Structure 1
């Protein structure tokens, strides 16, 4: 059920209805009226998700939408394993389910950032202090004045580091100590306060701050501050062995990544596009802790996290974060401005990607929305203006293709259907 069309890697669609490859969590979904929506509005959003699947870029999609705290959609489409682009038809396949875990890739950054804000709330760190106050080795090569707040808002001056491909490969990304050494040794950029997305580097520094200050691994701090209080099954960096039979496999999809996009992709990801896809499916990646790139969860868990933020830090009657912490974590750190890594205009807070007006990352007129994007087209966000929180997880990794039009339509539908 896959083919290559005009050089594009895409998933073949089943003829007719998608019902046979659709999973619905009927126990979780409420009557749309309980969330202030009409059945037609919810169906319109789900039709947008189906349109995204029909673009052929994603072997699996899971999607969860909350409105006013109520789940109106928690569904899956496609296959978690098999039926991927260019796979032979005889490959064993397994359907995706609403609770299929996927890797968030860069959408993991939002969770790491919120943990750093939580540590500040507890008095462990000062966000406006220099990183070197807590990591003495982070003092050379022009980075000694960099603050934690600058790292969170992608103004740290070290958006990337070089992997010596003669001695190591993309596996280096799974080596915490080596990555930390490379980052501390890397020189700061000229004009280090310019905005440039820190795709991998910032996460290791923020994760190491938590480890140094608390004396505990990042995963333990996540477990005690977010994962267990929120009642999550997954929602952690890396994936334990018993869960790997359920995780969705990642696939390169869409149009082949060629120059100049291949250069931009390598600059942002540190290694090549297809290398990232390959390593993400290996045990060594799931064994590792990559603070900026390998948190695993379900779409519902991602939506639950953002709903907690939208509810001023409260979940199920329990306070997880103080409102002042969330206000700082979501306030703009800059106006819409050119990002020197991504080569597009972006708006950041101290740790999150912000929406924009008249159109932004989360659709039209989403200036109050906040969340994070993950490789590629994974999205988690909350939009207080529409009283929504959402998680969109996809297993296809595509930069160019018709999926971008379909994604734009879906986000536009959510924006207009969930108003008022």
Structure 2
């Protein structure tokens, strides 16, 4: 039976689930109730190339609504890099300066593409920060950081290059191919696989976009955020651009049209959960008669742990593969070799090749804390219990 035709209508939560996946809908309803009933969110999952969960809830939002993806954008950008490595155009163990000669200054000559993509290059931000317009322009970010000295000896440690990593890898792509990550993504992934994920949102799609909303605050949350705060000129402050006097609040970033138009590859994507899940389904599964984008060996190579342990920027335990999160390190129920990327607005998206699963979740209101929303753990466990 084709599972894409086995979807059942549900009246309580909008959308459909395949036979046997009703507990996922029930868990989604419980998440909404726990948020006070007004959560605007989307949840989509594929199994072996068939869509088995397609749910949404909340004011103004439907299954086709587009939301900012924040750092889940990195997954789209680095899927392009994976394809170019698979094609033999890029070599992970080649020096970045081979492709981008101007990069090889200030002690950066020997940084490899693998080290860069594993957040080991020490180029988390600029000494003086960026305006919003500068930060939204990948070429400006790459030019500034390409001339700058790293904040630690490359390869000796790792730290999340939260706002800049795909601008750097994108410059390697541009130097090697003459085309941007945004162009490659549209031509090789978005258009042929009908993936509703945009690194650069056209003006005629703006009516589908819903602006991000700030997290709900309480005295306890305010105190917790204050306790975690670091200085503007700390490594974390630099990485999140807090060292610039006009740095916007993180939750507002996708609400700026210039961000959506440019499709800033580290954090400026726009998608539905349908788009996020379908992108990862296309990466590992046959869709509509098309072969998977990635060969198993490529998917395994990019999912392999490159950096794990104490992250100098977030000051937390983190695990990175090649440009992706090693998602199975965050959700132990997942299969080894799962890769994807979360976003600060609560987004989570990944591919699990061993189980043939692709997952996408997004929400409109910023979660507490800013990261993959905690309800993802509940939703993922319910999904895996259904098969």
Q: TM-score if structure 2 supplies the norm length? A: 0.84
Task: Report the alpha carbon displacement of residue 307 of structure 1 after superposing the two structures with TM.
Answer: 1.5
Q: CA 1:101/1:163 → structure 2, altered by over 3 Å: closer, same or farther?
A: farther
Q: For residues 271 and 349 of structure 1, do their structure 2 counterparts lie closer, same or farther at Cα, with a shift above 3 Å needed?
A: same
1:209 aligns with 2:188: no
Structure 2 runs not aligned, ≥5 long: 1-9
Partner residue of 1:172? 134
Partner residue, 1:23: 14
- Deviation per CA, 1:136-168: give whole Å up to 9, x if none: 11111222211111111111221222444xxx6
268, 272, 287: which one pairs with 2:261? 287
Query: What is the deviation of 1:278?
Result: 2.4
Q: TM-score, normalised by structure 1?
A: 0.78
CA distance 1:258–1:220, change in 2 (3 Å): same
TM-superposition CA deviations, 1:389-415 (whole Å, max 9, x none): 1100111123339x9654433233234
Query: 1:242 aligned to 2:204?
Result: yes
Find the aligned partners of 2:352 and 2:88 in 1 and give their Cα distance.
29
Provide the secondary structure at the position in 1 that maps to 2:119: coil
Aligned length: 362
Contact 1:252–1:274 (CA under 8 A) maintained in structure 2: no
2:24 to 16, 21, 45: 45
Q: Deviations over 1:154-192 (max 9, x none)?
A: 11221222444xxx6333211333212221132112332
Which residue does 1:91 correspond to in 2? none
Q: CA offset at residue 303 of structure 1?
A: 1.0
Give the Cα–Cα distance (whole angstroms) in 2 for the partners of residues 77 and 231 of structure 1.
23
Q: Decide whether aligned partners of structure 1 residues 322 and 72 sit closer, same or farther in structure 2, where only a CA change above 3 A counts.
A: closer
Q: Distance in 2 between the 1:262 and 1:55 partners?
A: 27
What are the equivalent positions in structure 2 for 1:256-275 lying under 5 Å apart?
A: 256=222, 258-263=225-230, 266-271=237-242, 275=249
CA distance in structure 2 between the aligned counterparts of 1:321 and 1:303, rounded to whole angstroms:
15
Matched, 1:147 2:112: yes
**Paired residue secondary structure (1:96):** coil
The alpha-carbon distance between structure 1 residues 178 and 392, as it changes in their structure 2 partners (threshold 3 A), is same
Distance 2:118 2:102 in 1: 21
Aligned with residue 309 of structure 1, among 277, 283, 292: 283
* Secondary structure of 1:104 counterpart: strand
Query: Does residue 138 of structure 1 match 2:109?
Result: no
RMSD over aligned Cα atoms = 2.7
> How far is 1:355 from its partner?
3.2
Cα deviation for residue 47 of structure 1 reads 2.3
Match of 1:68 among 48, 55, 79: 48
Counterpart CA distance in 1 for 2:98 and 2:374 is 46
Secondary structure of 2:349's match? strand
Distance 2:174 2:357 in 1: 33
The yes-or-no answer on 1:224 pairing with 2:187 is yes
> 1:332 deviation in Å?
2.3
- Per-residue CA deviations over 1:16-36 (Å, capped at 9, x if unaligned) read xx967x432x5xx5x42xxxx
Which residue of the other structure, out of 304, 308, 329, is the alignment partner of 2:302? 329
What is the aligned counterpart of 2:81 among 116, 128, 136?
116
Q: Which among 364, 369, 394 is matched to residue 363 of structure 2?
A: 394
Task: Give the SS at the match of 2:207.
Answer: coil
> How is 1:339-418 mapped onto 2 (pairs within 5 angstroms)?
339-356=311-328, 360-362=329-331, 364=333, 366-400=335-369, 406-415=375-384, 417-418=385-386
